[in-house]
Amino acid sequence: MPYLPHSPDDVRRALETIGVDSIDALFDELPSELRDPAIALPPALDETALMAHLRALAARDTATGPNFLGGGMRRHFIPAVTPHLALQSEFVTAYTPYQPEVAQGVLQATFEFQTMMAELTGLDVANASLYDGATAVAEAALLSVRHTGHERVLVSRGVHPETRAVLATYLHALGIVIEVMDLDGGRTPVPASLPGAACVIAQQPNHLGALEDMSGLAQAAHAGGALLVAAVDPVSLAVLKPPGAYGADVAVGDGQTLGNPPAFGGPSFGFMVVRQELLRQLPGRLVGATTDVEGRRAYVLTLQAREQHIRRSKAKSNICSNHQLTALMATVNMAALGPQGLREVAVGSVVQAHRLADRLRSEGARLALEVPFFNEFVLLTRHSALRVRSALAARGVHAGVPIGAEYGLGNAVSLAATELVSDEDIEALVSALRAGGELERSEVHHG
Amino acid sequence: MAEPRHADFPGIYERSRPKRRAARPPRHEPSDLAALLGEEQLRDAPPRLPEVSELDLVRHFTQLAHRQFSIDGNVYPLGSCTMKYNPKVHEEAAKLFQDLHPYQAPETAQGTLQLLFELQRDLGALTGMDAVSLQPAAGAHGELTGILMIRAYHEARGEGDQRRLVIVPDGAHGTNPATASMAGYSVVEVKSDARGEVDLDAFKQMLGQQVAAVMLTNPNTVGVFETHILDIARLAHEAGAQLYYDGANLNAIVGRVRPGDMGFDVVHLNLHKTFTTPHGGGGPGTGPIGVKAHLADFLPVPVVIEEDGAYALSEDVRHSIGRMRSFYGNVGNLVRAYAYIRRLGLEGLRRVSGHAVLNANYLRVKMEQAGFTVPFERLNMHEFVAQPPEGIRTLDVAKALLDYGMHPMTVYFPLIVKEAMMVEPTETESLETLDAYADALGDILGRAAKEPGYLEGAPYATPVRRLDEVTAARKPVLRYAFDGERG
């Protein structure tokens, strides 16, 4: 049997040592009426047959071709050195670093991750990771409620709809009220007053690709005694003003774009970075620097009294496993790119997205908004978003994240570009849209 | 932070030099960012990321890997963590599916969707559950998903306001009470009896119309099967409560008995345990949940469905609790778990649980022979709890093991056993490895008796020795101190 080392003699020796007759006898205490039910599983495959089966499945997927999909995940340049280093078996097959004397690899890499995330966001303390960007936003809302004592959360409609859905799921059970702030011209208007709110949550760039007035939102939040939670794309922070600089108290987001493949949505990782005074409200693991008995620098999980294995029902969150390995991918990748490389990734994305927008305008296409955008924007289409996406896929182009009816834009898709998008890719998308009749100026159907 | 000493392993920032670089992304014509984005949106100074050459990068992370213990390096018998071998073919499998974007047209993702659909079906079959969601990102996330579903179920029946309590055993994983709190419930603990099982009389006293759910692990955290599980399920259901199965210990029983047949209404699985997706130094895990039919309408969205041979993601779940995360799940890990199930089949999985229990009992006997005691004198399942001899601290034994190149067991858990050592060798360790582990433990006790101070000073040969954890917590240093900053 694969992966099991015991020979029949080993099994006999083990049974003799234990003093039972058979492996089945080890299960004699289990109620007999429960034992050995009929379970329908497909037959076992040897390694060759397994890989053939999986390749046959993978052949029904298409991952190649020009790709303009965004909406929270994107394909960016991942140099070969990144997975080579991050996926060394010592990192892949390690457990949570509870014995720091033999876990300095994971611990130090996490400390370096925390440093890089604090640098990117301009805030003080990053945790070791959360599950994804959406759950990070939900955890940020809970942190804000704990910190302020207010049980009302304001979230911009510019925050990704799936993120808002997760927020609703998490907060419903605790009776925390969520109010959605509508957009005006694709951006979140700065509210006049916000009494009794725990936080304002806004996304930069927002779900329609537009750049928000985050400084204005921060001032409004603070004037009302609320925190500003900034949901950010970490790649954008190579050029955009960091959350710490515009007054955000908490920066959260999804780390996929920092060096993980999209993997049909996961695993990526969530991050959370806060101002110093919120440190003890942070959920999840934290790595700190200290020394060993010989005075050598060393790293260790710290401030664990916030966590479930110590505080149980009083913990800041129930999170145990985080997303260490995908965060390590980002750590290696950020070090591989450096400030210049990450800037080139971000700028390349901006440049190609604007080149695409210009080409589409020149073809008579209508963009939903005429406001500054980063690397993603919304195109109004003649046909429904799902139909547009499928028609493009049939022409070998992956593009067209559906923009929901809640935005009141009629038929609309978002298009994103990254530094991996070539000028030829742009022409392929333009001609595929033209062939589908999506660029005809005459008529724009709504609904 | 003080200047690095010669003995200090360098940090990536200490290897950094201005204008050095490793990777180069594709270049595009530069552009006037201020004109495109607005001057006020731009950052003043670039983030201080490391600037290293590619070879320096390789050396740094390769040397860090050498400072990291792993299953691939040696035995790692952490109780309740199921640190079994992670087959390499799974890594090849995952690469086949890693480039798909979650929003690409479903007709271009039929292979992945079929895989996910079949995995839902197979996990349902293995747990005895009617419907499965693959979404949760970890075991604790699966717990929250399941408890929120139970909550929604009670609310739909008009009992949401009266059922405010979740019962967990005193030996429960910390995530259980933390999850109940996060779902807005109060937590009460039921004590364990002298055989290490839920105290049935105490349990009966706690039940009532105020109880929403009972969360159990079976086998439980002391490694014994809750033999009264059918009574527990009947009593819980008679009181209107739902029974939640924490799947952390499924490796003991996979393919042999099923939570669904025991009477559980919801189960989460830790794919990074029983189904051997790598732990990755602390994640990503994956925590799918399975539910009985009466809860299927409350599953989180989306679910993977099949219609006329076409696979799709559906948001059509009548009373869904909503979304638990973005997109559909940790697909990379779901592929690995799928590969494992397809590689082993039912007979292979039965042998997994059989050999896991065999190995755990074998090591228990060997550790007893080496001078350790077990608080519950009975056959155990896939793990067991032991205690060192009087006067010896578990922490010290754990640290001494590190010098033998072996990883300690889980220590000081469960909380109900003093100086607890929770040991789970898993089915993939050979008898020679288990013998060596018990021999090392015996050797440690022998040296401790002869050499005063030996145990307290251990470890001696590790990359670093015991750490000053008190200072780490009192004066937290949570990021690198750049020149001129205070550490």
A:B CB pairs within 8 Å: 684
Q: Is residue B484 in a domain?
A: no
Of A24, A300, A325, the CB nearest to B280: A325
Q: How confident is the model at residue B30 (pLDDT cuts 50, 70, 90)?
A: confident
Contacts of B98 in chain A (CB under 8 A): 261-263
| Sheet strand arrangement including A366-367 | A366-367, A376-380, A412-416, A401-402
Interface test with A, best of B42, B89, B325, B355 (most A CBs within 10 A): B325
Q: What is the pLDDT of residue A193?
A: 81
Of the three residues B313, B344, B375, the one that is the final residue of a domain is: B344
Handedness of CA B21, B24, B30, B32 (dihedral sign): negative
Q: Is the domain of B185 the same as that of B220?
A: yes
Q: Are B2 and A324 in contact (CB under 8 A)?
A: no
Closest B-chain CA to A7: B430
Model confidence at A443: pLDDT above 70: no
Q: Is the domain of B174 the same as that of B291?
A: yes
- Amino acid identity of residue A95, one-letter, is Y
pLDDT one-digit tens code per residue, B34-70: 999 999 999 999 999 999 999 999 999 999 999 999 9
CB-CB neighbours of B313 under 10 Å? 16
Mean pLDDT of chain B: 96
Look at chain B and count its residues: 487
Q: What is the pLDDT of residue B4?
A: 52
Distance from CA of B120 to the nearest CA of A (A): 12
Distance from CA of B185 to the nearest CA of A (A): 9
Q: Which of A323-332, A432-441, B355-364, B464-473 has the lowest mean pLDDT?
A: A432-441
For B37, the 3-state DSSP assignment is: helix
Q: Is the domain of B389 the same as that of B327?
A: no
Task: Return the H-helix or E-strand segment holding B217.
Answer: strand B211-217
Q: Is the domain of B335 the same as that of B361?
A: no
* Pairing of the two strands B410-411 and B421-423: antiparallel
Of B89, B174, B179, the CB nearest to A50: B89
Q: Are A317 and A142 in contact (CB under 8 A)?
A: yes
Average pLDDT over residues B233-238: 98
For B155, the 3-state DSSP assignment is: helix
Contacts of A306 in chain B (CB under 8 A): none
Q: Which tokens hold the place of B33? A: 């960012």
* Architecture label for domain A81-332: 3-Layer(aba) Sandwich (3.40)
Model confidence at A447: pLDDT above 70: no
Q: Which CATH number fits the domain that encloses residue B187?
A: 3.40.640.10
Phi, psi of A159 (to 5 degrees): -75, 140
Q: Is the domain of B372 the same as that of B438?
A: yes
Q: Is the domain of B252 the same as that of B229?
A: yes
Interface contact flag, A50 B339, Cβ < 8 Å:
yes
Average pLDDT over residues A9-37: 97
Model confidence at A441: pLDDT above 70: no
* Residues pairing with B313 in the sheet: B304
Q: Is the domain of B274 the same as that of B320?
A: yes
Q: How confident is the model at residue B487 (pLDDT cuts 50, 70, 90)?
A: very low
Interface test with A, best of B41, B268, B272 (most A CBs within 10 A): B41
Distance from CA of B16 to the nearest CA of A (A): 9
Q: How confident is the model at residue B5 (pLDDT cuts 50, 70, 90)?
A: low
Q: Are B410 and B338 in contact (CB under 8 A)?
A: no
Interface test with B, best of A61, A82, A139 (most B CBs within 10 A): A61
Q: How confident is the model at residue A1 (pLDDT cuts 50, 70, 90)?
A: confident
Phi-psi region of A338 (alpha: psi -120 to 50; beta: other; left: phi over 0): left
Q: Is the domain of B339 the same as that of B352?
A: no
What is the extent of the structural domain holding B432?
Answer: 346-471
List where CATH 3.40.640.10 sits in chain A: 81-332
Model confidence at A123: pLDDT above 70: yes
Write down the residue that tokens 């130094």 correspond to: B281
Model confidence at B485: pLDDT above 90: no
Q: What is the DSSP letter of B389?
A: P
Model confidence at B85: pLDDT above 90: yes
pLDDT one-digit tens code per residue, B431-483: 999 999 999 999 999 999 999 999 999 999 999 999 999 999 999 999 999 97
Q: Which tokens hold the place of B89? A: 């073919």
Taking CB atoms within 8 Å and a gap of at least 24, the contacts of B27-35 are B27/A344, B27/A348, B28/A347, B28/A348, B28/A351, B28/A352, B28/A419, B29/A351, B30/A347, B30/A351, B31/A347, B31/A350, B31/A351, B31/A354, B33/A239, B33/A347, B33/A350
Mean pLDDT of chain A: 96
Omega of the bond leading into A37 within 30 degrees of 0 (cis): no
Q: How confident is the model at residue B107 (pLDDT cuts 50, 70, 90)?
A: very high
Q: Which CATH number fits the domain that encloses residue B356?
A: 3.90.1150.10
% residues pLDDT > 90 (chain A): 94
Closest A-chain CA to B89: A47
Q: Which tokens hold the place of B373? A: 């005691």
Q: Is the domain of B111 the same as that of B239?
A: yes
* Pairing of the two strands A376-380 and A366-367: antiparallel
Q: What is the pLDDT of residue B484?
A: 65
Handedness of CA B116, B118, B121, B122 (dihedral sign): negative
Average pLDDT over residues A146-165: 98
Residue by residue, DSSP assigns A69-120 as: --TT-------THHHHHHT-HHHHT-----SGGGBHHHHHHHHHHHHHHHHH
Average pLDDT over residues A22-39: 97
Phi, psi of A102 (to 5 degrees): -115, 20
Q: Are B160 and B172 in contact (CB under 8 A)?
A: no
Of B107, B341, B469, the CB nearest to A290: B469
Q: Is the domain of B314 the same as that of B406?
A: no
Interface test with A, best of B327, B406, B474 (most A CBs within 10 A): B327
Closest A-chain CA to B57: A336
Model confidence at A183: pLDDT above 70: yes
Q: Encode A43-76 in three state secondary structure.
A: CCCCHHHHHHHHHHHHCCECCCCCECCCCCCCCC
Q: What is the pLDDT of residue A303?
A: 93
Q: Is the domain of B200 the same as that of B170?
A: yes
Of the three residues B319, B344, B369, the one that is the final residue of a domain is: B344
Q: Are B149 and B310 in contact (CB under 8 A)?
A: no
Number of structural domains in chain B: 2
What distance in Å separates the CA atoms of residue B311 and residue B330, rounded to the nearest whole number? 18
Contacts of A174 in chain B (CB under 8 A): 182, 184
Omega of the bond leading into A402 within 30 degrees of 0 (cis): no
- Amino acid identity of residue A306, one-letter, is R
Interface contact flag, A166 B323, Cβ < 8 Å:
yes
Model confidence at B1: pLDDT above 80: no
Residue by residue, DSSP assigns A150-162 as: --EEEEETTS-HH
For A283, the 3-state DSSP assignment is: coil
Average pLDDT over residues B357-379: 96
Q: What is the pLDDT of residue A309?
A: 87
Q: What is the DSSP letter of A231?
A: E
> ipTM strictly over 0.95?
yes
What distance in Å separates the CA atoms of residue A110 and residue A224, rounded to the nearest whole number? 35
Q: Is the domain of B240 the same as that of B354?
A: no
- Amino acid identity of residue A123, one-letter, is L
pLDDT one-digit tens code per residue, A93-114: 999 999 999 999 999 999 999 9
Taking CB atoms within 8 Å and a gap of at least 24, the contacts of B184-192 are B184/A173, B184/A174, B184/A175, B184/B151, B185/B147, B185/B151, B185/B212, B185/B213, B186/A313, B187/A312, B187/A313, B192/B222, B192/B416
Model confidence at B486: pLDDT above 70: no
